[in-house]
Structure 1
Amino acid sequence: MKVAAPRPREFMEQPIPRPFAHLDAPLSELYRRVMRVFVENKRRFVVHLRPEDVAETLRGDGGQGLLQEAVDKALESLADWGNLRADPDTSRVTTVEDFYRARYLYQLSREGEAAERALEVYEQEIGRRGELQAVALEDIRVRLRALRDLAEYPDPAVVHNLLLELVGRLDSLAANASAFMSGLQRTIDLQEVDEEAFLAYKDRLIAYLERFVSELVVKHHDIATTLRSLEPERVAALLALAATREAADTVPDGAEGLDGNVASGADPSAGSWTAAAVGTAAGEKVALWESRWSGLWSWFVGGRERPCQADLLRTRARKAIPDLLATISVLQERRAGRSDRSADFRALARWFAQAPTDQDAHRLWRAAFGLATARHLTAEPGAAPAEVTAATSWLDAPRVEVSARLRASGHYAKRGAPKNVRDRTADKELLAREVAAEREQTEAARRRLATGRPTLLSDLGKLDRQEFPLFLRLLGDALAAGPPGPDGVIRTRTSDGTLAVTLEPRDGLAEIVTEDGVLRGPDHEITIVDLTVPDQAVVP
């Protein structure tokens, strides 16, 4: 009689994989340790593990008291969730009883491996300490120059390696810069920051930012120049070489089941690797490399749609330096014990929220904002205080005269000895004479220039120090009022509306002599009309 062998688990009806279910299970720490054992062994190309091998590895990592039964249950649970695959282990079967005893070899499933990689990336990103990699800029610059200097028919392996290194260094630069700037912003906002440690290394941090900004300015210009020097046809040819080299290693059609998970309905014998398939794979790889090159271009060159990321990083790093200095000043103020009004109001709000009764809240309000009686204030020194009790309302009490100095400073008189009163009569007379003289000179200049008649600039003659500033102001107002009208004439008025200026260009060169030099320029016919004079106001 034939005995039917137990059906392997992979041919039974499998539930929907839940590779992250072990994270919130009661024994999550044990499950994570078991999965790490499988990941580390797969890196050494050890695919299958027996339960006793897993238990021995765990005991060697500090789990001396770990029982085999606990490991077996953990492996079964992980297999049920889809993190592991369980295959029957018939290599040690010597008796019928061994045949019927459930023995399995475990290996990572695709879902379990993907979940472990996702958790590893998550932990790396959470623990990442960002940095501004000036060395990465130099690496990118060197490899771009190497690409530019390649022969006309380069080795595909050299091209592929250079492009891979370029993309890898750019990814590292972008990710680390983003992490560093995020952490720096949290430091500036004083979130999750040790103030003592920050004050200790603030000088090195600022020097670090300044050094990176200087490196970025120099290397960015060189990288952008090299990128622009590469012709688009040359770049397309290099990307095609790298894509073709990658496409040669693409798995043939129908070979998706090499890991034992053949797709439903797939025929493993139907796989083929034709020239058409190679061309399709190469086309996909070319599109991928073109996208990567576009990212490199937008990072260092940019355009209208995508701004240059290097410029944005430089601007943000430069802005971080004054922000850090402002943060340092805030910390120094806190250390010095200076009052922070916003912090005081927040503390007061907490006190109001913690007040047990409304009466306590009212007492706190009166204590904080001084809404109490002010009957201790009296009138001017020597005045008799009003006979009013402290409980009298301000509406019912008689009016009390309070000096302005008392309201402003809290004192009736300025502290210290009174100052001697200085006689400023002579100063006022001198100032009045100077103002009158200046007004007279200005009026004389207006009468000299505002004649109401057309005059060539070359015929103005010599202008003194009072006439020349007025002339320059009028000439500037006329030129600023341009462009001229259809007849080529500029007409305007001064801002105070007292003078009308008409300026019309003429041939020739005008020289205006002043006490400080000679002003030369194109000759114009200028008409200045004083609108405050009735005889001139009618002149158009």
Structure 2
Amino acid sequence: MRQGYSTGVRLSGGELLPNIGPEHLKPLSEFKYLHAENVSRYRLIMRIFYENHMKLRYWLRPLDVHGAVLETGLIQGYTIEQCEQDLQMLHEWGNLECQQDKAKSTSIEEFKKKRFRYQMTAVAVEIERLLDALEQVQGYGGELDAGPLEIIARLLRDIYHRAGEMRPAEDFALWKELQDRFRRLHENAVDYYAQISSTKAEALMQTAAFLTFKEDLRRYLQRFALGLQQFGAQIEGMLRALSPAAVEGFLSSVTQGEMEVPNLEDRRGFDERMAAHREEWASLAAWFMGSDGDESEVVKLERATKEAIGRVVRQALALQEQARAGVSRRRDLSYLARWFMRLQSIEEAHRLGAAVFGLYAPRHFQGEPPRSTDSADCSMWEEAPILRALSPKTRGPRQRLAVSPVKDRATQKAKAMEAWRQAQASARDIERRWLREGTFAIADFDELTVEDRGLLLQWVSRALSKADRRFRDPEGYQIRVEVPQNGERHRISFPDGVMEMPNFRFHIRREGR
């Protein structure tokens, strides 16, 4: 009997194609910008984001993107409105994350315009890198490990001390390991900093759960910063110690070792391979030493690490202050108030207030007040006070409200409670009197009180809201209201007027009887 469907395809050898499911049949919206109508604009925008992403600039505003597009000169007549529309479309496809930029808002109108800034998503980064493993991407990933730095320093020492002594195959193996370590170091560091700068990380830093691992994150960042300071200087020193002739000889040996490996797909000659290796070496040297007066990526990474440590510490302190701010000080203030009440003189109260609250922030007023005497021996405390009217800082003047003491309203509350109890008891007496009637109709009465009218109308309302026209009283009485079929009506007189209503018939019985 067939009990279910297999999750893979059976092959002749008995193996299954693993991990094949419905998720492999759905389209990936992140690839839409590669074949959309305005593909040239979308690809240029994503390339601008990627170049800034690799320079540790993750968030870009529409004005920045628009200026970069015009600077390339590849698209003519490109407007800021078109740029905002393209960014929004890339956000809807999942290539960009957006966040409202509130820092530039100086008025309510500007805040309502919802200016946004954008950041590449993790999948968009991998698409621009042309990697094959897009399905395994979950966030930015990456890690901060100083181990590759130590290995790079060791490999450069081998190049320096053993230049010309190793065979081309050994030089090529050393070169591949050097490039692999360098690429992993750069990509992992860039991805990790993008991760801790993402919206999810910012949202996590706003929660109390961030306090549980903030110390581990701080130590993790500090270890990487120390590794950058220690091994970054060593690598820079080794690169400066290598002469151009030694570098050229090493790259020539690497190219010879690469040529010895048969490769049917790569048909480049010696000169093309040599030029490619020179560019790779120049990128490695610029990453650690800088170029054209620009600081190295090591310095930028160290600065980004210190800024991340500072942000982690500041956010943790803010969360702790927020938690302390929510603690009630009612007990402390109550104890302090009783302490003040026990003092015997105003001088003791002043001393206690100075010890508890300290000095208040003084306010100084400059001017030339008129003096009552010209005597130099007269103290300022003997002079008459000078009155100055202070204008409020608000836009419109507000009238100061008179401070009034809290009045004791216990007597009024007691009277109101007693009146309410009497009203409840009177209403209950009226209800019990009607419950004893059993069965009656509205036509049986010509005059009723206002209280009787309120009770009967309440019963009619409760009964008509039920399908069977009946309900149960809190004391266990079942009340059923019968609606007249012939439309019969009856007029009843009340102290405040005459009311005409249908001749409802009430059936009251005690449950269990």
Q: Same fold, TM exceeding 0.5?
A: no
Q: TM-score range by the shorter chain?
A: 0.3 to 0.5
What TM-score comes out, normalization by structure 1 length? 0.37
Q: Which has the higher contact order (CA 8 A, sep 6+)?
A: 2
What TM-score comes out, normalization by structure 2 length? 0.39
